[in-house]
Structure 1
Amino acid sequence: MSDGNRIQNKKPLILLVDDLPTNLHVMVSALKSNFRLKTATSGASALALLNLQTDLPKLVILDVKMPGMSGIEVLGRLRDNPYTLAIPVILVSADLSEQNELAGLNLGADEYLIKPISKDTLIIRVHNLIRRSEERSKLRLAAYVFNFSGEAIMITDRNNHILDVNAAFTKLTGYDNADVLGRNPKLLSSGRTAQEEYRILWEAILKDGFWQGEMWDRRKDGSVYPKMMTISVVRDRVGDIEFYLANFVDISRYKESEQRIEHLAHHDPLTGLPNRLHLQIFLEQSMLIARRNSEQLAVMFLDLDRFKNVNDTLGHSVGDELLIQAAARLKACVRDYDTVARLGGDEFVVILRGQDIAVNAAIVAKKINLHLSQPFLIDANTLRTSTSIGIALYPDNADQIDDLMKNADTAMYIAKSEGGNVFTFFSSVMNLHAHEKMRMENQLYDAIEKQELHLYYQMQVDHLHRPLGAEALIRWLHPERGLVPPMQFIPLAEESGLILPIGRWVLDTACAQLKAWQDAAHTRDLILSVNVSPKQFRQDDFITQVQEIVQRHAINPARLKLEITESVLLKNVEDLIVTMNVLKALGVQFSLDDFGTGYSCLQYLKRLPLNELKIDQSFVRDITSDSNDKAIVRTIIAMAQNLNLDVIAEGVETEEQRRLLMDKGCSHFQGYLFSKPIPIDDFEELVKTLNDCP
C-alpha cells in the first residue's frame, strides 16, 4: 500500500444518501478533502452497504424524502441494528415542517439540517459530530472497563474523598458504594503500613503523578490481606489535580506462593529442616554474632550409621520415614536458637553457639547418640541405627565457613571409621590424615596405568603339603612408600569406586597367569582363587566380564575360583544366586570367604552354588587355646561336610594349629606355615620344590 493510500484510509468514512445526484455532488465537493466518502441513491442501497458490516462509516448523512424508503425509515432501521445503532446521523431536508424534524430527532438523529446547506456549516457539523461520537465511544469503553474490570477501582476527588468504586472493589473489600462514598480511603487501612511508607507514596504521587507498590488493607469483615496497588493522578485542562484513580488486586495467593517457594529454596522438602543454602546463611550470621559477642560456635556433622542398609533392604519409603523421625529427634536434642539442618542423604548438621562450647557440644553429642540409638518403629519394622558425629569449633579450628564445615566433615569420617555411635572433635592431625587420604586416592587412580599394582600369590596346600593352588592377593608397589599394605588402600578403593577397575584388572591379570600355568606341566592342575568385592560382583555386566576374560585367555574355567565374602549376602540375594548359577554353569568355582565373621545366613547358604567354605583366620589364630574358637571351627567343618563342600582354613601359622584342624576334619590349608604371599617367580619356584619333594 502506498503512503498516500495509507493516509487516505486514516480519514473518517462518511456515507452520503440522497436520491438526487446533484445533492450528492454538492456534499461530495464539500467533504472530499477531509473525509473518505461512500454514496447511495436510495434508502435500500444505503442499508445494503451498511449490512455488509465491513468498514462501517463514522457518520451517515441522510436525505429525509426519498422515493421507495424515506430517510426517516432508514434511520429507524439503523437504530434497530446493534451494529449501526451508535453511528451518528445527520438528516437533511428542504421540508421546513416541524413534524419531520421531530420524527427524525425522536428516532435518534443527531442533527437536522435544512437545505440548502453551506459548505462550511456542513464541514463543522460533521467534524463536531464525529469528535463527540469518538468521545462517547471512549466514555462507554471507560465505563465498561470500570464496571467489569477484574481489578478493584476507586476514584477520589482532589481532597481524597471517594467518588466512586466498582463491583470488583465491593467484591474484594466487602464495602459497597453506600459504605464508602464521600469517605477517606483510610477506612481500608490495616494499621500494618508505616507512616514512612505513606510519606513516600504521597511524595511520588505529587511529584510524578504515579505510585505503584504493595500494601496491606483490611476488609469490611476485619480480615487483612496484601494488595498490589497503582495510583494515578488525573489533571484538568489547566494542570490542577482533579481526581485520583487507584486500582488494586489481592495478592494473597501470590504471597503464599512466594513464601512456599522461599521455604522450598531454604528447606529440605522431606524433613522440613533448613537445607544447605539456609545453613550457609545462618552460619555466616552466627559467626558474625559470635565474633561480636566473643562467643564460640560448634559445627557438628552427623551421619546415620548403616542407613544405606535400610534403603537397600526395606526400600526408600522406609528410609525416608527413618530420616523424618531422626530429624525430629535431633531437633529435640538442641535449644530453640540452635539449628539443625539436612545436607542431603543421611547427613545432618547441628550449629551451637555460646560459651564453653566444647563442653556443651560434647553434652549435646552424647544426647544425640543416646536418642538416635533408641529403636525406630516404621511400618511394623523395628529399626536401630546410630550416628557418627564430627565436631569443629569456631574460631579454634577455623575462622572461615568452608574450612569449618570441611573440618567437621573430616572429624565425622574419623568417628565413622571407629565403628559409629561416637563423636569426635577435629584436630590438626585429622587434617593431615584427610590430605594424605586425598593424595593417596589421586595416586591410586594412576596406579594401574603406571603398572604399580602387582599380584602376589599365597600357597594353598592339602594335608600332605601338596600344592592345590593359590590365592591372588593385590599389592601396591608405590614409588615413594614402597609396598603399601592392602588394608591401607582397598577401603579407599571401595569408597571411591576405584575397586571396580582395580577388581577387573586383578581378574584379568589372574586369568592371564592361570593360562601360563595351564601351559606348564608342573602348574597345570593348580587352582587360582581371586577375591571379588560385593560392589564388583553386583555390577550388571559382571557375568559378561568374566565370560569375556575367560574366553580371551582361553583358560579352563574350572581352575578359576571366585572368593566372595558374607557381606555380599546383605541385599539382592536372589540376584546373587542367579549370577552365581550362570557362572557355575560356565565352570567357575566359588568360595565363601571369612565364613562365620559376619552375616551368616544359613537359609541361603544351602542354595548358593558354592564349592568351598573358608575358615577365617580370626578363628584359627587362637584355636589351640580358645575353646570357643575350637567349637566354631568344628561346627563350620561339620556344616561344610553336610553340604558336600570343601573347607579350607586360612591364617595357619603353626604345626599345632594344622594338626588340630586336621583332627577336626579340615584338609586344606593356607597361611604362613606354608608360605607368605610372594611374587609369581618365587611362587612357581616353591611349587616346583614341593612337587619335587618325595
Structure 2
Amino acid sequence: MSVYPALKSHLKPLLLLVDDMPANLHLLAASLKADYRIKTATNGSSALDLAGREDRPHLILLDVMMPGMNGIEVLRRLRNNPETGEIPVIFVSADASEQSQLDTLELGADDYLTKPVVPTILMARVRNVLQRKRVEQQLRLAAHVFDHSGEAILITDRTNQIIEVNAAFTNLTGYTQEDVRGKNPRILACGRTTPEEYQAMWQGIRDKGIWKGELWDRRKDGGIYPKLLTISVVRNHHGAVDFYIGSFADITEQKAAEERIRHIAHHDNLTGLPNRLHLSVALEQSLASARREQSGLALMFIDLDRFKIINDTLGHNIGDLLLIEASRRLQGCVRASDVVARLGGDEFVVLLDGAGVAMDAAASVAHKILHSLGQVYTIEGHALHSTPSIGISIYPDDGSDAETLMKHADTAMYHAKERGRNNSQFFTAAMNAAADERMELERELRLALLEKQFELYYQPKVVTGDGTLSGVEALIRWQHPLRGIVPPDKFIPIAEETGLIEAIGAWVLDEACQQLAAWKSAGIGCGQMAVNLSAHQLRSADLIDQVAACIKQYGIEEGELELEITESVAMTDPKRAIVQLQKLRALGVHLAIDDFGTGYSSLAYLKLLPIQTLKLDRAFVRDIETDANDAAISAATIALAHSLGLSVVAEGVETEAQQAFLSSHACDLLQGYLFGRPEPAHVWTERWQAG
C-alpha cells in the first residue's frame, strides 16, 4: 500500500514547491506560506530527495519544463515509489494547451495550473486537492474496515433494502451478497424478538439516530443465535436519511459466559448450592408470595458441630469433602421447590415455603436433617461425626422481613448449640434478649483485650501429706469496668467461638510466666506455675514458638511451667495432640490432663500422651463422702494414674472429709477452697512478705 503522510492537527500541511526559477518559487511561496509549511527544490533530483524523506510533503507543486530531469520524469518516479506514490501533484506550466494538460493528468497528476499563476486560483486548487486526498484516505480506510471487520456489516438504503454486506456478514449468517441484496433485513429474523422490541428499536433510531441492543436471528442453515446489533443513520446535507448501517456480532459465547458468571455469582463454588446472594433474592420472592397468599414460610439456620476441629486437624481437603457430602444430604431432606443454600464455612440455610409450611412441617424437616447429618461421614478412610445444630424462624410469627427472619434463625441456632448441639430450636423472644446480651458481651470482650481488663488470680496446690505448697494455677478473671468481675464460664465460650481465645491464651501464658519470674526474683517461692491451654492454642502452629519464647524471656527452668489441657481437647485429635505435647515436653514443660473423667479418653491413647499428671475433676470430688460411685471412680482414677506413672491432683477439695478420703487413697496433690481461693498476685505477694 502506498504511504501518504498523515495530517497532524497541530501542524500546517507541508508543501514542496519545485521550479528551476527562484523567482517563480518566491511567488508561489509568498501566496501559500500563510496557510502551509513550505519546502523548495530547484531541480528534479532535489525534489525526489525531499519527497522521500521522513517528513514527506502533503502536496507537490511541480514545474513541467526543467533542465535535466523534467517534471514528467519526476512524476513518473514519484508514482513508481511506494513511499511517494500517493503524494498529490499539481503541475505548474507555461504551456496552456489542452493536450499538455491532458497528457500530465493521464500520467497521474492531480491538477494542472498555467503560468502566470493567479494566487486565489492557486490557493483554491491546493485546498481542493488536499481535501480530495483526505476524502480518498477516509474512503479507503472505510472500505478496508468494511471488508476486514470482525463484525458483520450490512448497509441498507432509506427504504431499508440491503445494498451491501461484508465478508463477516456472510461468514456469520451464511447469506452471500447475492442472497440478500435488495431484500429487507427481516429475512434474518427468527421470531424470538417481539414486535414491541422492534418498535422500541425503530423509535430509538428515529429519536437518536443510533440504536444498540440484543436481538435473536436465524442463520441460513436454520441455526438461531443472539447478536449484539448497532444501527446508525447516515443523512445527507439536507438531513434526510440516505442509508442505515448495521453492525453486529454473534454473542452466543458471551451469553454463555454471562450465564456462567451469573451462576458463579449466585452459587457456592465448592458445593454448587445457592449462595447468600441467591438466598437473599429467593427469600424476598418467597416473602412477597407469602404476603399475597397469606401463607407461611420457615427459615432454618444449620451449623455443623465440631467442623472447625475436623477442618483444622485433618486439613481443608477433608473438610471440603465433608461439606460437599453434607450439602448432598441436606438436599435429600427437602423438596425440589425448597432452597438449600451455603452461607460460607459450615453454615447452611434451608428455606421452606408454601401454603402448608408451619411449625409442624419445619419440625419434620429438622428431624430429617438431624437424622441424616447425624450419620457418620466416611471420608478418605476417616470415620467422622459432625452433627447439626439447627435454628428455625417462622414467617410471620418471628418476623415480617428477611433481615429479621435471618437474625432470629441465627439466634435460635446459637441457642441449639448452647443446649448441647445436635438439636433444633425454634426462635423465641427470650432468645433474642440472650442473643443481644451475647453480642454486647462479645463487643466488650474485644475491647477488654485492647484495654487490658484481664487479670490473673492464683490458686494454690498443696502436697496431700503435709499441706506444703506445691504450685499455683493461673486463672483468668475479667475486671469489667461496669459489670465487675465476669467469671470465665461467661466469656471463655464466646472467646472460643470468635477466635479471641488464642490472643487471650497467649496473654495468660506470658503474664503467668512473667509473674513467676517476678516472684523468683523477689525470693518468693510459689512452686510450679500451671496454665490452661485451650483447644485453639493446642492446634495453633505458633504454640511451640510462643512457649519457647516465654521460657527464654523469663528464664523459666525445667519443670517450673505446667500446661494443662482438658481430656476432651486431647482426645479430639489424639495423634496431633501427641505430637504437640511431645514438642512441649522437649522444652522442659510439665504436662497435665485437666478435668479427667469427664471426657472419653481411650486408655490406648492416654498411655501414649507424654503427660505427667492427671487432674481429678471436681464433679467426682464434690460428693465423694456420700456417693459410692464417685468414691469408686476417684479411687480407681488415682490407682490407674499411679499404674501409668502419673501423679494425681484432686480439684474442688472443700472439706476435711474429702481431704481425708483422698489422702487415704494416696492422691498426690490437692486443690480447692479448703486450702485457698484464687487470689490476685499482689495478695500473694503481701502474704508472703508478711510471713
Structure showing greater radius of gyration is: 1
Listed as ranges, the matches of 1:166-177 within 5 Å are 166-177=166-177
Displacement after TM superposition at 1:409 (Å): 1.1
Kept in 1, the 8 Å contact 2:153–2:166? The answer is: yes
1:185 counterpart residue number? 185
Displacement after TM superposition at 1:396 (Å): 0.9
1:577 counterpart residue number? 581
Displacement after TM superposition at 1:339 (Å): 1.5
Supply the distance in 2 between the matched residues of 1:635 and 1:544 (Cα, whole angstroms): 36
Describe the SS at the equivalent of 1:211: strand
Equivalent AA in structure 2 for residue 368 of structure 1: I
Kept in 2, the 8 Å contact 1:463–1:667? The answer is: no
CA deviation string 1:522-577 (max 9, x = no partner)? x95865644443445555354157437855xxx87756544322344345435523
Displacement after TM superposition at 1:427 (Å): 1.1
CA deviation string 1:228-260 (max 9, x = no partner)? 322222222333211111222334444344434
Displacement after TM superposition at 1:323 (Å): 1.1
Kept in 2, the 8 Å contact 1:503–1:533? The answer is: no
Equivalent AA in structure 2 for residue 249 of structure 1: A
Displacement after TM superposition at 1:294 (Å): 0.8
Pair 453,445 (structure 1): closer, same or farther in 2 beyond 3 Å? farther
Pair 441,60 (structure 1): closer, same or farther in 2 beyond 3 Å? closer
Equivalent AA in structure 2 for residue 373 of structure 1: G
Kept in 1, the 8 Å contact 2:413–2:424? The answer is: yes
Q: Which moved more, 1:278-287 or 1:489-498?
A: 489-498
1:433 counterpart residue number? 434
1:494 counterpart residue number? 496
Describe the SS at the equivalent of 1:283: helix
Q: Which moved more, 1:289-298 or 1:107-116?
A: 107-116
2:362 counterpart residue number? 361
Supply the distance in 1 between the matched residues of 2:127 and 2:169 (Cα, whole angstroms): 38
2:240 counterpart residue number? 240
2:334 counterpart residue number? 334
CA deviation string 1:601-626 (max 9, x = no partner)? 55664555433223334556787899
Kept in 2, the 8 Å contact 1:472–1:510? The answer is: no
Listed as ranges, the matches of 1:125-164 within 5 Å are 126-164=126-164
Describe the SS at the equivalent of 1:298: strand
Is 1:45 aligned to residue 49 of structure 2? no
Describe the SS at the equivalent of 2:203: helix
Displacement after TM superposition at 1:309 (Å): 1.9
CA deviation string 1:347-382 (max 9, x = no partner)? 111111233411111111111112212233333333
Kept in 1, the 8 Å contact 2:519–2:526? The answer is: no
Pair 671,50 (structure 1): closer, same or farther in 2 beyond 3 Å? closer
TM-score by length of 1: 0.82
Displacement after TM superposition at 1:595 (Å): 2.9
Is 1:565 aligned to residue 566 of structure 2? yes
Supply the distance in 1 between the matched residues of 2:651 and 2:104 (Cα, whole angstroms): 122
1:691 counterpart residue number? none
2:269 counterpart residue number? 269
Pair 26,480 (structure 1): closer, same or farther in 2 beyond 3 Å? closer
Describe the SS at the equivalent of 1:239: coil
Describe the SS at the equivalent of 2:390: strand
Displacement after TM superposition at 1:340 (Å): 1.6
2:386 counterpart residue number? 385
Displacement after TM superposition at 1:77 (Å): 1.0
Kept in 2, the 8 Å contact 1:152–1:249? The answer is: yes
Describe the SS at the equivalent of 1:342: strand
Pair 113,566 (structure 1): closer, same or farther in 2 beyond 3 Å? same
Equivalent AA in structure 2 for residue 137 of structure 1: Q
Supply the distance in 2 between the matched residues of 1:653 and 1:112 (Cα, whole angstroms): 125
Kept in 1, the 8 Å contact 2:190–2:224? The answer is: yes
Q: Which moved more, 1:380-389 or 1:653-662?
A: 653-662
Listed as ranges, the matches of 1:228-307 within 5 Å are 228-307=228-307
1:221 counterpart residue number? 221
Describe the SS at the equivalent of 2:312: helix
1:87 counterpart residue number? 87
1:56 counterpart residue number? 57
Could you list the runs of 5+ residues in structure 2 that have no partner in the other structure?
1-6
Kept in 2, the 8 Å contact 1:151–1:249? The answer is: yes
Pair 288,44 (structure 1): closer, same or farther in 2 beyond 3 Å? same
Supply the distance in 1 between the matched residues of 2:34 and 2:563 (Cα, whole angstroms): 104
Pair 416,37 (structure 1): closer, same or farther in 2 beyond 3 Å? closer
Is 1:667 aligned to residue 672 of structure 2? no
Kept in 2, the 8 Å contact 1:193–1:215? The answer is: yes
Q: Which moved more, 1:530-539 or 1:191-200?
A: 530-539
Pair 678,53 (structure 1): closer, same or farther in 2 beyond 3 Å? closer
Kept in 1, the 8 Å contact 2:60–2:88? The answer is: yes
Describe the SS at the equivalent of 1:272: coil
Describe the SS at the equivalent of 2:342: strand
2:457 counterpart residue number? 455
Kept in 2, the 8 Å contact 1:457–1:680? The answer is: no
1:344 counterpart residue number? 344
CA deviation string 1:314-363 (max 9, x = no partner)? 10011112112212221222223321221111011111123341111111
Displacement after TM superposition at 1:261 (Å): 3.5
Displacement after TM superposition at 1:312 (Å): 1.6
Kept in 2, the 8 Å contact 1:58–1:87? The answer is: yes
Describe the SS at the equivalent of 1:172: helix
Supply the distance in 2 between the matched residues of 1:24 and 1:485 (Cα, whole angstroms): 105
Equivalent AA in structure 2 for residue 533 of structure 1: S
Equivalent AA in structure 2 for residue 457 of structure 1: Q
Supply the distance in 2 between the matched residues of 1:54 and 1:27 (Cα, whole angstroms): 21
Kept in 2, the 8 Å contact 1:14–1:57? The answer is: yes
2:547 counterpart residue number? 543
Pair 86,8 (structure 1): closer, same or farther in 2 beyond 3 Å? closer
Equivalent AA in structure 1 for residue 459 of structure 2: Y
Is 1:311 aligned to residue 311 of structure 2? yes
Supply the distance in 1 between the matched residues of 2:347 and 2:145 (Cα, whole angstroms): 57
Equivalent AA in structure 1 for residue 50 of structure 2: L
CA deviation string 1:196-236 (max 9, x = no partner)? 22112212222332222233333333333333322222222
Supply the distance in 1 between the matched residues of 2:118 and 2:287 (Cα, whole angstroms): 91
Kept in 2, the 8 Å contact 1:169–1:175? The answer is: yes
Could you list the runs of 5+ residues in structure 1 that have no partner in the other structure?
1-5, 689-694
Pair 658,82 (structure 1): closer, same or farther in 2 beyond 3 Å? same
2:4 counterpart residue number? none
Pair 395,43 (structure 1): closer, same or farther in 2 beyond 3 Å? same
Displacement after TM superposition at 1:108 (Å): 2.4
Kept in 2, the 8 Å contact 1:536–1:542? The answer is: no
Kept in 2, the 8 Å contact 1:188–1:218? The answer is: yes
Supply the distance in 2 between the matched residues of 1:332 and 1:432 (Cα, whole angstroms): 34
Kept in 2, the 8 Å contact 1:456–1:475? The answer is: no
Pair 331,132 (structure 1): closer, same or farther in 2 beyond 3 Å? same
Describe the SS at the equivalent of 1:221: coil
Supply the distance in 1 between the matched residues of 2:99 and 2:124 (Cα, whole angstroms): 26
Supply the distance in 2 between the matched residues of 1:613 and 1:253 (Cα, whole angstroms): 67
Is 1:612 aligned to residue 622 of structure 2? no
CA deviation string 1:457-497 (max 9, x = no partner)? 36644257676556565667889988866544443443345
Kept in 1, the 8 Å contact 2:298–2:392? The answer is: yes
Pair 180,443 (structure 1): closer, same or farther in 2 beyond 3 Å? closer
Supply the distance in 1 between the matched residues of 2:448 and 2:116 (Cα, whole angstroms): 113
CA deviation string 1:113-136 (max 9, x = no partner)? 676777776666555444433332
Pair 502,204 (structure 1): closer, same or farther in 2 beyond 3 Å? closer
Supply the distance in 2 between the matched residues of 1:199 and 1:107 (Cα, whole angstroms): 55
Give the aligned CA root-mean-square deviation in angstroms: 4.3
Pair 406,12 (structure 1): closer, same or farther in 2 beyond 3 Å? closer
TM-score by length of 2: 0.82
Displacement after TM superposition at 1:99 (Å): 8.0
Describe the SS at the equivalent of 2:85: coil
